[in-house]
Amino acid sequence: MSHSVLNLFFKLIKQKYVYVGVPVIIKNFKGEILLGKRSLNMHTYPGFWGLPGGMPEYGEKLEDTAKREVKEELGVEIKIVKRAKDIYENFPTKEFRFHSVDIPFYGKITKGIVKPKDETKEVKWFKASEIKNMKLAYSHKEILKGERLI
């Protein structure tokens, strides 16, 4: 279900929910972090850079969500290395109207070549020093800071 349909649904029922996000931190052998630039037609944070990931489907394990979302957005398969040490929250703002809880995972690419797919317009490996000056989608910058990666 698209985010715009979800927004309409929640406006109609006037119910507020907390969503679960599963961002994935992928580093290369140089220590650079993989980010995707969100498509301009995305409802939240269009054109922003961010970690790959998304929301679990009903009944889906979080690790499976991480793998599925990376495959959908970047066209590669990953293995889960570990879960991040903390859980991070997004509170409603002008840009992001939902309350969400992010449970990040670290992943390692096992198959495929990274390329933008689905909701991703562009992908790029960034040095930590470059990310420090960027505005990222959701709480992705706070996640990278909390994990001591930037």
Q: How many angstroms separate the Cα of 23 from the Cα of each of 5, 9, 14, 16, 100?
A: 22, 25, 27, 22, 12
SS3 letters for 42-82? CCCCCCCEECCEECCCCCCCHHHHHHHHHHHHHCCEEEEEE
pLDDT tens figures, 75-88: 999 999 999 988 88
**Whole-structure pTM value:** 0.85
| CA–CA gap between residue 53 and residue 22 (Å, rounded) | 5
All domains in the chain, ordered by first residue: 17-146 (3.90.79.10)
Least confident residue range of 8-17, 32-41, 104-113: 8-17
Give the sign of the dihedral formed by CA 66, CA 23, CA 96, CA 121. negative
pLDDT tens figures, 73-121: 999 999 999 999 888 887 777 766 778 889 999 999 999 999 999 789 9
